[in-house]
Amino acid sequence: MGTLWQDVKYGARMLLKHRGVTLVAALTLALGIGANAALFSVVNAIALRPLPVEKPDELVAVFSSDASGEDYGTTNYVDFTDW
C-alpha cells in the first residue's frame, strides 16, 4: 500500500509539472466522454426505446399516389379520414 501512495504522489507531481499535457489529456477525455454520451442519448431515443403505443407491431404507414407521376406521396389527415 505504501508504494501505491508513492505512485499517486509521483503522478500528481508530474501532472502539476507538465500542465500542458495534463490540459490536453483532460480536454480529450472530456470531449470523448461528451460525444459518447450524446451519441448514446440519440441512439437510445431513436432505436432502443420502445414506441409509446400499446401495440407497436400494428402500426402502419399510409401513402397515396396520383397522376402526377409520384409513386408514393405523403397523405394528409383529411384524405385519411375520407378513406
- Share above pLDDT 70 across residues of the chain, in percent, rounded to a whole number: 93
What the block records as the C-alpha cell of 57 is 407491431
What the block records as the C-alpha cell of 64 is 397515396
What the block records as the C-alpha cell of 32 is 470523448
Inform me whether the pLDDT recorded for 67 exceeds 80. Answer: no
Between 49 and 14, the more confident residue is 14
**45/8 Cα distance (integer angstroms):** 40
Inform me whether the pLDDT recorded for 68 exceeds 80. Answer: no
What the block records as the C-alpha cell of 33 is 466522454
Beta-ladder partners of 63: 74
Specify whether the CB–CB gap between 51 and 59 falls below 8 A: yes
Inform me whether the pLDDT recorded for 69 exceeds 70. Answer: no
Backbone dihedral angles phi then psi of residue 74, each to the nearest 5 degrees = -75, 155
pLDDT digits (tens, 9 = 90+) for 23-60: 999 999 999 999 999 999 999 988 888 878 888 888 88
**H helices, E strands: number in the chain:** 3, 2
